[in-house]
Amino acid sequence: MDTNSADVRMHVVDGIVMGPTYCAYINCEAELLNACGGAFCIVHKQEYGSKCYIVGCQYNKVLPTQACYQHKREWEKHIQNQSPGTLASAYQMLKQPAKNLDWQPNIQ
């Protein structure tokens, strides 16, 4: 089987996707049904829109998450890690790497 693969570059600025907005289904290059938070084209949204977003899982998702009961905990952890407070803390640590915070060991 002869397959072609290429890197896809996407830039996200303040939650706005800049760049290609293709379906997340494998080998599908159709335009997204909803480019503001959607993952599938219209065909794959109808087929997989109610399914868990974890790759390979065929169970139905549990609202308000995008995951099934088995993957719900992992989805919630993902959402928590992507929260503005978590990202702001990481940004602050990267911005001032030499500064020790109260909870860090004192490094001389």
User: In this predicted model, what pLDDT tens digit does every residue of 74-104 receive, in sequence order?
Assistant: 888 887 877 776 666 666 666 666 666 666 6
Domain spans of the chain?
Answer: 1-41, 49-97
| Predicted local confidence at residue 3, as pLDDT | 62
| Predicted local confidence at residue 29, as pLDDT | 87
Of 84, 86, 96, the residue nearest 104 (C-alpha)? 96
Of 79, 83, 16, the residue nearest 53 (C-alpha)? 79
The H-or-E segment that residue 86 falls in is helix 84-95
